[in-house]
Structure 1
C-alpha cells in the first residue's frame, strides 16, 4: 500500500482459489491468503467441500448436500431440526460412549463482536475394535461455525479433529449445540459457549436490511480508533459479486491518509454498496485488517440483505445507530429516509418510538410518498437525548412507521445508542481569568480533572484554538494522562498572558480522550459593562438631550449590556446633576439587534421596582433617563453612575436649556393657487378635472 495505485478498489482473481468467492479488495494482494478467513467464509457462504458430503444449517433446517461425480453440489434431502435431534441418541455398548471429545465442551469466553476466534476440538475413538466413520457436522446458529473433519475415519484407539470458529454477531451470551453424524453410531452432540462483547472499533454487522428490487443498500463503515496512536486500515475485502466497496466520497482511489484514523476518533473510511436486480436473500462479508492487528487478527462483518418484489415502504438503513454518547452531550439527530416501491401514492400517518422512550423524540409531519420513486425521501428526524436515558432498556428500541395503505404492513427500524454515564469534572475558577489594570501580568493555573465515569479516561491530546494561542499556553502536559474511575489527576498548567486585544475571551480547549472529545471552557474578562443610547439619538456613548425649553421634559432610553463570560451584579445606580432621574424599564437576554427591535414596547413600559440587578452573560437592562429642566438655564452637564464589583460606570449627560418661548408670525401661511390652473377651493366647493382642460368648479 505504499503507492496510491495500490489503494484503488480492484477485483481479486477468482482463479486463485476455485472454491472461494471473489473479493473486492482495498489492497494489492490478489487473494486472502489467510487459512482462517478461508475456513470461515467458506463455511458462511455454504461452500461445503468435505469429501463427498456435508451438512449446511439454515435456521431450523438442516440440508444434506452431496457432491456428484461432476463436482456439482446436489441437494439430496432436507431434514427438520426437530426430527434430526431425535436421531441424536447414540448407540452405546454398555455404559461406554463410543466417542470422546477433548475438551468435553468448548467455551470461547468473551470475544468482541465481529472478531472471529478459532479453537480446535479433538475426537477420540476409545474402542479397540470398531472404526467410527464421520459423515457430517452441523449447527443451527449464525455465531458458531465448524470446519470439516481432518479425517473422516477414526480407527480404533485413534483420533481426528475439527475447528470451531466463534463469530459473535451481538453483545451477550451465546450457546449452541453441534451435531456430529456418524454412519453406524448415530448423532453425537457437542456444546459450545461464548459471550459477545462490544467491538473495540465500534463496528457491527449489517444485518436485517430489506430493500426492493433495483434498489440499493449503502451503509457507511465508520471505524473508531481506541488506541493512543493513529490507526491505519491496511486491507479491506468484500465477498460476493453484489457487494462492492466504495469511498464515502465516490472516488475510485486515494492516498493512504484517507484510511488513517486519529487516536480516539471515529471516521467513515468506506461505503459498502449492495445492489441486486433479483429477489432473494443475500449474505456477504466484509473483512478489515488494520496496522493494530497481528497476522491472524482481523474483523469480519456479515452483511445480510433481503431483496424483495413486494410493494411497500422501505428504509434506506437497517438501523439508526446513534453511536457512543455521553449524558452531558447535546441530543444527536439522525434523519429517516423512506421509499415507496408500490404503484400508488401512500400517506405516512405516524412515526413513533416503540416502546415509548423519553430519550427519543420524533420530528415528523404527515407526508405522502410518491409511487415508484427511485430515490429515498427524508420524512422525519429522530433525536436521541442521552441525558434522559436513565436505564439500559432506553438505549435501544424500534421506530415504527405506519402508512395509510392497509395492504402495507407497518415498518419497524431498530435504533440503538451506547450511553456513557459520567463527566470530567474541573474547578471552574481555575479556567476563569480577570484582566486587571495591568493586562501584561501573567497567571499560571494547575488544571486537575475528576473522572466520574466507571472506566479509566485517557487524556491523549490537548488542542488550543488558533484565536487564543497568543493569550493561553499549555505547559507540563505529558501525554497520555490516565485518570482512573472516580479519581482526580493533575493534567497540565494553563499559562495566561492578557493583551489589550483580548479583553473578553469565551472559548474552549479541546481534550482528546478515549471517551470522545471534551470542551474545557476558558474565559477571560475585564468585568466592564457595555452600553449604548437607543435611537433616535445618534451619539451612543453620551446622553445628549440637545436644546430644551425650561418647561419641556425629555426622555432618553439607555441600554446596559454584559458581554463578559461571567454574571455581574449591578449593585446600584444613581444620577449626578439637577433635574435628572432614572427608571429601570426592562431586563432580558439578547444582543443589540434584539434590544432595538423591542424599542416600541420599551417606550411604553412602566418602571420596575428593583434596586439591584444580576446580569447574566449576554443579558441587558434598559433605563429611562428623564430630564426636567424647571428653572435651569444654559449648558447643563450631569452623569449616570452604575456600580458593580469591577467598576463605577459613569455615563455623561448633556443638554442646553433655554428660558423663554418662541412665537411664529404669521400664524397661518396662505399659498396662492399653483397647480392645476384655477383659484383655491373654498369650503363647499367641488372640482372636476379633465386631461385636456383646467379644473373648474
Structure 2
C-alpha cells in the first residue's frame, strides 16, 4: 500500500451520488496535500466513499532535529547583554493550556527586530521534546524594525504538564530561547499514542485503533491517514472496502475501526503518525497519534503490543482479561520461566503456564492471560504498572510490558419514596412513579436519552411511558437530580413484567430493574382440549366419559392462595391433581405424566411465585344429549376465575372392520400390510384423533393414507390406515433370511455375508439361517399378534386384533421337481423354471449345477437333510452336467454395478431380480447315454443362500429295423433278378415293351422307446430314388414305439453290371440316421441280351432329326462364309493387276511367283484397314472418293524393291 500515486477506493453507496462525493474528496485531498508530503497513506471517507490514498515519506508536521544545549554555550551569553534582548517575542511566552492527548493545537509566534540598524538572520529553530513542533520562519531575515513569524504546534503525548524551551539560532546574534507550556488531558475519544513498541527485524506491529464516542449522537470517522511507507492502515474485515457502518460508532460506545500495521524493514528507530478526522470535528480540528517503533536485530523475546490497555472500568465491573502474545526472534527455543506484575498488584491476576517459544516462528504465541479487577484497585498506583516476562535463556534480557486502566470510583443510585434509601442501581426495583438519581463518583456524569422506546420488551412498550425526559441531564458529583417519570398502565389482567431500564451515560451503562404485576392467575387448558382458553370436550358419545386438565400459573412476584374451587353444570366434577414449581412450558412437557396422576385431597392450595396448580375436570355424558355448557370457578383474594366447559353429546358406535386382521405370510425383508377401516353408526361426522398400537412390538406399525381425512363419514365404512408388519425391524443383523451379497470386485468385509465367487461356504451359511428359523418356530415366534386402538372425539378404545405369520421364503415359483421326457441322446428337451423375488429388496441369483461345487456329494447330502425329515429321498448324481439353464426372454440383460446378468462363466447363469419381479428360464436336458439321471440345479441367492430344483431325465436312442434287420453293414435288403423275370429279353416277337422293374415291400419297425419321425429317405445321397432304386411312398412319416409301416422300393436295372449295391438312409427329426444296404443281382450271361432288348426312349427319333437339321445348317453356313472370304481376297488382287497392266511397261522374263500374290493380298488387307479407320473418322464417302482412296493407298504401299515412302 506504499506505491506512489496509487489509490484504492472503498465504495458502499449507490453510483448515483458517487461522482459528486468524489469531487468533494478530491478537494479535501488537495487541501491536505499541502500539509502532508509525498508517499503517505490515508483513508478518507465522505458521505458515500471510503478511500485509501498514498503519499510520500515524511511527517504530518515538520519537527526540527533535537539540538543539544552544549552547542550554544558560547552564544547564549549574548542573549542577555545588559538585560536588553536584540529581539522581541509576541507573546513573550506561549501557554497552550489544557489540550487532549493526540489532538494538536497550533499557535503563531511573532518575532520583532527592535534595532533600527542591524538585521537578524535566522538560521534554525529546534526543541528538546516531542510534545512541541515548530515550523520554519516565514522570512529567514528580519530587517531593521521588521518582523516575521513561525508556527508552534502542541501535540500532547501523555497526560500532565509539559514545559519546554525552543532554541532559535541566528547568524550574528547567538541563540535565543522561547518558553512554551501545555497541559495534556485525557483524550475524549480514549485514543493514545502508540509509543514504546519494540519488535525484531522482518516482523510487524499491528495495534488496533479503538475509538470511543463521547457524544449522544452516532460518531462517524471521516478520514484516517498514515504518514510513513512502513506504516499502513487495514480494515478489520481484511478487505479493500466496506460499508459506512464500519466507521460508525454508537453513542457512548467504544469500537475498533482500523488496524495500523507497521512492517519492520531496517533496524532503526522509526516514527510515523496517524491522522484521524470525525464528523464531530471542525474543519481545522483533527487527531494525530504518534507511532514510535524500535526495530532491532538483537535476539530476544518481543510482545505483539506495546501496552496492555484495559480501558475505562467501573469499580463494580467484572474483571477484564487481555492476552499476552510473545515472539522468539533467536535461533534456539526459549522457555518462559515467569510472568508477574511489577510492582505487585492485587488487582492484577496472571494466568500463566510454562510455555516454550519456538525459534524461527513468525507467529506470536499466547503465553499468559492478564486480568484486571477494578474492585480491588483502591489506589491510583494500582491503575498502572508493568508486566515482567523472564526467560530461561540468560543472554535474553527481561521483557517489560506496561499496563494501564482507568477506574471510575462510585456508583449511580436512585431515590424512590422517602422511606427508601439510596442503593446501587444493580439492586434497585422501581415501584413508584417518580425517580431521582444520585451519583457518587469523582467526575460529572451525563445522562442521555438514547432509548427510542427500545428499553423494554415488546409486550411492555404500550404499558410503560417515560415522561419528562427530553434532553441530556448533567449530574454533578455527589448530587441528585430529577430524571424522568415512569407511567404504567397494564394491557391485560394477568401480567408480570420483570425487566430493566437502560441508562446510557458517558461513564458506563447502568441497568435499573423494573417489576410490575396484577395479582391474577394465568389459566390455560391442556391437550386434548381444542382450546387453551376454555375446556372444550368437543363431541362425546352418549356412553362415554372424558377428562380434561387445566392449569393455573402464578406469574406474580407474590404468593396467591386458591381458597376454593367448584363447578356449574350436571355430570361435571373437578379435582386438584398437584401443585409444583413450573411455568407453561414445564407443565406442557409433563402432560403424559399428569394424565396418569392421582388426585389430591386438599381443598385449598397456596401458589408461590412461579408455581402452578393442575386440575382435572371430568364430564360423564351418560344421560346427556346435544350441546352442553358448564364452568369451573376458582376463588382467590384478587379474583374469582371462571373457566368455561363446553361439549356436544352424540349417539352412535364405532367398530373396526374387520375386527381381526390377518396379514399375509412374511419374512425379514418382506413387509406386508392390510387396510384398517372403521364403520361409523353416528349421524354426524366423527373426528379421528389417534391411532396407536397397544402392543409394544416394533414390527407392527401403521401409515395413514395420503388422501385420508381426519374425519369419519357418518354411517359409512372409512379406511383410516394400513397396518404393516416388518419382521426385520426386530431381528436387525440376526434375521433368519437375507444376507449381504458381496461382488467379486468388492472388498470382503467381516461378518455373515455371501460372496459372488465363493461357493464353499454356502452350506454353512444356509445351515446358520435354518438354525435361526428352527429356533424361531420352536419358541412359538412364528405367529405373532398385536392390538391396535383408534380414538376419536366421540368414542375411545376402538380396537382391532392383528395377526401375522412368518414363513421360510423361496424364490422358486414353479415346481421344485422337474421330470424331463425321454430324450434322444442326439437332441435335448426343455422345461420352464420360474423365479420370483418375494422380498422388498433386490435379490442376486446364480443358477448352476451341483457338480460345480467343490464337494458336490457332501453339499447335496447336507442340503437334503431337511427333505429327508419330510420323507423325501432322491438318488442324486452330483457329477453330471447334462442340465443347463438358458434364458428364454428377449429383454436385454440388466447390468448392475459389478454384477452382469447372463452366462458369465460356463454353466453359471446370473440373474438380478428386482422386488416383485418374476423371470422364467429354460432348463435344457441333453443326455449323453441311455440312462436315467437325477441331479440338482442349485439356486444361489442372498435371501436363503441356497435353494434347489430336482431335475430328472432319461436318455435313450432311436431304434429302427427294416425287414427285421437293424441298421448297419450287415443289414442287406436283397433284390434278385432271375432268368424268369428276364424272359422278355429272349423273345424275338415283342408284342409289348418289356418290363424289367422289380418291386419289393419292406416293413419298417420302431423298436425303441421314442417315437420316430422319418424326415427324409435317401439312396446313396439322392432323395427317394437313384441308381435304379426308387422308394414309392417317400413322404415323411412317424412311428410310435413298437409301431411299423411298409415301404415299397422298386429296382429297374440298366444291365450294365450284374450286381448293384447302394445305401438306403432313413433320417429322423431327432438327428439319427439309419443306413441299410440295397443289394441287387442279375444273371451275368443275360446282360448283353437284355441291354439290347431294352426299349429305346420315346424321344430318341425326335432328337435324331433335330441334331441332323442342326448339322446341315451349320455346313451350309460354312460354305457361304468361305465363298464370301474368297471374294474378298480376289477382287482387290484383280483390280491391282488391271491397274499395273495399264500404267507400267510390260516386264518380260519375270517368272510367276506365288509369294507376290501373298504380298499383294497383305497390301490389300492393309489398305482396307486404313480405309476402315479413315471412314470411321471422316464419315461416309461416295464411291468415287472411295476408289480414289484405295488407289492412293496402293500407291503408298511399298514395293518389294523400295525402301522409302512417297506420296
Deviation of the 1:164 alpha carbon: 0.8
CA contact (8 A) 2:37 2:59 kept: no
- Specify which structure has the higher proportion of strand: 1
Which has the larger displacement, 480-489 or 285-294?
480-489
> Which residue of 1 is the match for residue 228 of structure 2?
240
2:393 equivalent among 394, 405, 409: 405
1:488 equivalent among 470, 475, 480: 480
> Which residue of 2 is the match for residue 261 of structure 1?
249
SS of residue in 2 equivalent to 1:90: helix
SS of residue in 1 equivalent to 2:246: helix
Q: Deviations over 1:324-365 (max 9, x none)?
A: 111121111111111112222211111111111122111112
> Which residue of 2 is the match for residue 111 of structure 1?
99
Query: Structure 2: any 5+ residue segments left out of the alignment?
Result: 1-8, 421-429, 522-553, 560-581, 584-597, 616-774, 776-1207
Alignment of 1:143-182 (within 5 A): 143-182=131-170
> Which residue of 1 is the match for residue 370 of structure 2?
382
2:509 equivalent among 512, 517, 539: 517
CA contact (8 A) 1:353 1:397 kept: yes
> Which residue of 2 is the match for residue 43 of structure 1?
62
Q: Deviations over 1:587-612 (max 9, x none)?
A: xxxx99xxxxxxxxxxxxxxxxxxxx
Deviation of the 1:377 alpha carbon: 1.5
- Cα distance change, pair 485–471 in 1 and its aligned pair in 2 (3 A): same
> Which residue of 2 is the match for residue 208 of structure 1?
196
- Cα distance change, pair 327–640 in 1 and its aligned pair in 2 (3 A): farther
> Which residue of 1 is the match for residue 210 of structure 2?
222
Alignment of 1:626-641 (within 5 A): none
Higher relative contact order, chain-length normalized (CA < 8 Å, sep 6+): 1
Distance in 2 (alpha carbons) for counterparts of 1:126 and 1:136: 20
CA contact (8 A) 1:12 1:23 kept: no
The alignment status of 1:4 with 2:12, answered yes or no, reads yes
1:475 equivalent among 439, 454, 466: 466
- Cα distance change, pair 255–350 in 1 and its aligned pair in 2 (3 A): same
Distance in 1 (alpha carbons) for counterparts of 2:178 and 2:253: 42
Deviation of the 1:116 alpha carbon: 0.7
- Cα distance change, pair 416–566 in 1 and its aligned pair in 2 (3 A): farther
Distance in 1 (alpha carbons) for counterparts of 2:461 and 2:81: 87
- Cα distance change, pair 646–185 in 1 and its aligned pair in 2 (3 A): closer
SS of residue in 2 equivalent to 1:452: strand
**How many residues are aligned here?**
515
SS of residue in 1 equivalent to 2:449: strand
Deviation of the 1:107 alpha carbon: 0.8
CA contact (8 A) 2:199 2:294 kept: yes
CA contact (8 A) 1:506 1:565 kept: no
Distance in 2 (alpha carbons) for counterparts of 1:459 and 1:17: 40
The alignment status of 1:450 with 2:438, answered yes or no, reads yes
Q: Deviations over 1:210-230 (max 9, x none)?
A: 112221111111111111222
Distance in 2 (alpha carbons) for counterparts of 1:295 and 1:161: 23
In the superposition, the TM-score normalised over structure 1's length comes to 0.66
Q: Whose radius of gyration is greater, 1 or 2?
A: 2
Alignment of 1:398-437 (within 5 A): 398-427=386-415
CA contact (8 A) 1:208 1:318 kept: yes
CA contact (8 A) 1:21 1:239 kept: no
Deviation of the 1:145 alpha carbon: 0.7
2:65 equivalent among 56, 59, 66: 56
- Cα distance change, pair 471–638 in 1 and its aligned pair in 2 (3 A): farther
- Cα distance change, pair 452–28 in 1 and its aligned pair in 2 (3 A): closer
Query: Structure 1: any 5+ residue segments left out of the alignment?
Result: 45-54, 63-79, 433-441, 530-562, 569-590, 593-634, 653-674, 676-697
Distance in 2 (alpha carbons) for counterparts of 1:239 and 1:565: 63
SS of residue in 1 equivalent to 2:62: helix
Q: Deviations over 1:179-226 (max 9, x none)?
A: 111111111111111100111111111111111222111111111111
Q: Deviations over 1:364-386 (max 9, x none)?
A: 12222222221112221111111
Q: Deviations over 1:284-326 (max 9, x none)?
A: 1111111111111111111111122222111111111111111
SS of residue in 2 equivalent to 1:423: strand
SS of residue in 2 equivalent to 1:210: strand
Distance in 2 (alpha carbons) for counterparts of 1:100 and 1:145: 20
> Which residue of 1 is the match for residue 761 of structure 2?
none
Deviation of the 1:270 alpha carbon: 1.1
- Cα distance change, pair 204–271 in 1 and its aligned pair in 2 (3 A): same
- Cα distance change, pair 28–135 in 1 and its aligned pair in 2 (3 A): same
> Which residue of 1 is the match for residue 87 of structure 2?
99
Deviation of the 1:469 alpha carbon: 3.2
Distance in 1 (alpha carbons) for counterparts of 2:116 and 2:610: 102
Distance in 2 (alpha carbons) for counterparts of 1:160 and 1:419: 47
Q: What RMSD in Å do the two structures reach over aligned CA positions? A: 4.3
- Cα distance change, pair 311–642 in 1 and its aligned pair in 2 (3 A): farther
CA contact (8 A) 2:10 2:242 kept: no
CA contact (8 A) 2:209 2:258 kept: yes
Q: Deviations over 1:26-78 (max 9, x none)?
A: 22799999xxxx9972414xxxxxxxxxx522xxxx3xxxxxxxxxxxxxxxx
Alignment of 1:178-193 (within 5 A): 178-193=166-181
Distance in 2 (alpha carbons) for counterparts of 1:324 and 1:15: 34
- Cα distance change, pair 339–465 in 1 and its aligned pair in 2 (3 A): farther
> Which residue of 2 is the match for residue 695 of structure 1?
none
Alignment of 1:607-686 (within 5 A): none
2:39 equivalent among 16, 22, 31: 22
- Cα distance change, pair 475–95 in 1 and its aligned pair in 2 (3 A): closer
Distance in 1 (alpha carbons) for counterparts of 2:148 and 2:232: 39
The alignment status of 1:366 with 2:354, answered yes or no, reads yes
Q: Deviations over 1:388-418 (max 9, x none)?
A: 2222111111111111111111111111111
- Cα distance change, pair 443–338 in 1 and its aligned pair in 2 (3 A): closer
> Which residue of 2 is the match for residue 133 of structure 1?
121
- Cα distance change, pair 374–524 in 1 and its aligned pair in 2 (3 A): farther
Deviation of the 1:640 alpha carbon: 12
> Which residue of 2 is the match for residue 273 of structure 1?
261
- Cα distance change, pair 504–320 in 1 and its aligned pair in 2 (3 A): farther
Distance in 2 (alpha carbons) for counterparts of 1:240 and 1:188: 33
CA contact (8 A) 2:328 2:359 kept: yes
SS of residue in 1 equivalent to 2:361: coil
Distance in 1 (alpha carbons) for counterparts of 2:402 and 2:178: 34
2:289 equivalent among 293, 301, 312: 301
- Cα distance change, pair 469–407 in 1 and its aligned pair in 2 (3 A): farther
Distance in 1 (alpha carbons) for counterparts of 2:361 and 2:507: 41
- Specify which structure has the higher proportion of helix: 2
Distance in 2 (alpha carbons) for counterparts of 1:491 and 1:518: 14
Distance in 2 (alpha carbons) for counterparts of 1:306 and 1:277: 11
The alignment status of 1:322 with 2:310, answered yes or no, reads yes
Distance in 2 (alpha carbons) for counterparts of 1:489 and 1:565: 32
1:459 equivalent among 441, 448, 461: 448
SS of residue in 2 equivalent to 1:223: strand
Distance in 2 (alpha carbons) for counterparts of 1:363 and 1:495: 49
- Cα distance change, pair 137–444 in 1 and its aligned pair in 2 (3 A): same
CA contact (8 A) 2:41 2:227 kept: yes
CA contact (8 A) 2:463 2:491 kept: no
